Chains A and B, each alone.
Chain A
Amino acid sequence: MSKSSKPKLLWLQSITCNGNTQSFFTLPDFIVLMNKFEIIYHPILNSGYTLADVTNKDLKCDILILEGSFKQDGMKKAGQEILATAQKYAKKAKHIITAGSCATFGGIFRQYDKNSISGFCFNDDMINENYNLFRKKLISIPGCPAHPRWIGSVLSMILTHRAIPLDDLHRPLEIYGYNAHSGCPRSEYFEWKIDSKNYGYKEGCLFYEYGCQAPYTHANCNKILWNEVSSKTRAGTPCFGCTEPSFPKKDLWHTPSLMGIPASMPVGIPRRAYLTLAGIAKSFSIKRLNEPIIKYKK
């Protein structure tokens, strides 16, 4: 394949920690995938152009990947407002991918100044003026960071002209149609409403007391796993809901409750249905689930 026949990929960073760049680099087939594109600019990879070229010239671009939150003004790169550079290429690109929660909704860095810092097309879950201009080619891949496979798979789907069904926040349903709770090895404890004794145990659920947002967080982390081996809840850490426009909420290590009832229900479950089942499940004392899974001899 000659160089020019490859789709042109431009990865632009705004206000970011580079977490999505670093995360994407952990994709096992990163190099094979990236070789299918002509890299106009990328924060790690060698590219044909410098950042100054990208800002000052009018380069061709098929796929624009944005990382980081955007500031109305005062965030210059190579002498130009990065928002203006992003808009310039957004107009040309056939596909716009916002990689990570900052570029999608505003994320962590939006918290510094909600009046001037936002996602590229969303301010939290509200659309902004860019949305109206670019919605037809927008794919949201939120997450803090986005899972490498989310970015990788979407790029491959674009390359192979496959359909990408999206939800109303433009998140691909094949990824975000699941919730982070699906596949959690602690789900049996969730079913029987057995709380973890504390952090640091492989037994018990983290939803009731310890802040876990997995039942209402759209993501397939526990289905495809992180770094191919684990996930937050597998490591005993609550899910912090990082793929949602509400990320980051406050008081992240504690489950908000209304007189003892979790304030947020699992996605789509009516509270009355949840409470009826929860009340029944809770009244049984299941011996196996209240014991350690493994007993090591002293």
Chain B
Amino acid sequence: MKAETKKGKKKESIIKAALALFSLNGFYKTTIPDIARRLGMSAGNIYNYFPSKDILAQEIIKYTSEILGHEIQKINLQTDLTTHQKIKKIVEVYFNMATQKPEMIEYFLRVYLSNREVFTGECDKMICVAGFITEIMIFFADGVECGELRDQDFFSAFGLFMGYLGGMAFLNGESILSRPLESYIDEIAYNIYHALKT
């Protein structure tokens, strides 16, 4: 294994461990020694990979955003799907992530959105989530281009779509929902499609 790849693997494992701890305990309550302990490495060694906790937090959001973006990209590339079918698939991807890798969604809601002061500088505005935003933009643009979605301001459509999914994931995380999250996919996809269609 090449040194670069080895370093990459290590970085990813630090990201995964930090992701789990941040989303469970919050950004400020989690310390670098906590993360090091979970990985069985020294805190000093972590700093070889990430110069600060803030930068680590920023790398995590890029990491999750790219994973989610990659999943949506796969849907965007399926040109034979209708916009309604694509919406359903995006909801599915999101809810699967919320149930199988809840830390990813939790991280976005509890760390990224709640500690904006951490995500400044190189991570200003939405750069760190660009991997995900770009794919959502392409999904919307394709929908408008084929005449299925109404042309409108990006953020009003984005807020409706992602705010809705985030809200459902939150309710699920708080164990408020009476049914499993997956059972809502059809209804929610229907609602989103009807709110955004031409």
Direct contact of A and B (CB under 8 A): yes
Task: Enumerate chain A interface residues (CB-CB to B < 8 A).
Answer: 257-261, 263, 271-272, 275-276, 279-280, 282-284
B149 contacts A259, CB within 8 Å?
yes
CB neighbours (8 Å) of A260 from chain B are 137, 153-155
CB of B130 within 8 Å of the partner chain: yes
Contacts A272-B73, A283-B126 given; 18 further ones with Cβ under 8 A?
Answer: A258-B142, A259-B140, A259-B143, A259-B151, A259-B154, A260-B154, A261-B137, A263-B141, A271-B138, A272-B134, A272-B138, A276-B134, A279-B127, A279-B130, A280-B130, A282-B125, A283-B125, A283-B127
**Most interface-central of A258, A276, A284 (chain B CB within 10 A):** A258
CB neighbours (8 Å) of B125 from chain A are 282-283
CB of B186 within 8 Å of the partner chain: no
Decide if the interface of chain B is mainly helix, strand, loop or mixed.
Answer: helix
CB neighbours (8 Å) of B134 from chain A are 272, 275-276, 279
CB neighbours (8 Å) of B151 from chain A are 257-259
B127 contacts A275, CB within 8 Å?
no
A261 contacts B130, CB within 8 Å?
no
CB neighbours (8 Å) of A282 from chain B are 125
B138 contacts A283, CB within 8 Å?
no
Are A259 and B157 CB-contacts (below 8 A) given A279-B126, A279-B130, A280-B127?
yes
Between A and B, 19 residue pairs with Cβ closer than 8 Å are A258-B141, A258-B145, A258-B151, A259-B141, A259-B151, A259-B153, A260-B137, A263-B141, A263-B145, A271-B138, A272-B73, A272-B134, A272-B138, A276-B134, A279-B126, A279-B127, A282-B125, A283-B124, A284-B124
CB neighbours (8 Å) of A280 from chain B are 127, 130
In Å, the complex CA distance between A258 and B152 comes to 8
CB of B144 within 8 Å of the partner chain: yes
In Å, the complex CA distance between A121 and B66 comes to 49
A297 to chain B, nearest CB (A): 34
CB neighbours (8 Å) of A272 from chain B are 73, 134, 138
CB of B133 within 8 Å of the partner chain: yes
A178 to chain B, nearest CB (A): 27
Per-position 1/0 for B38-82, Cβ under 8 A of A = 000000000000000000000000000000000001000000000
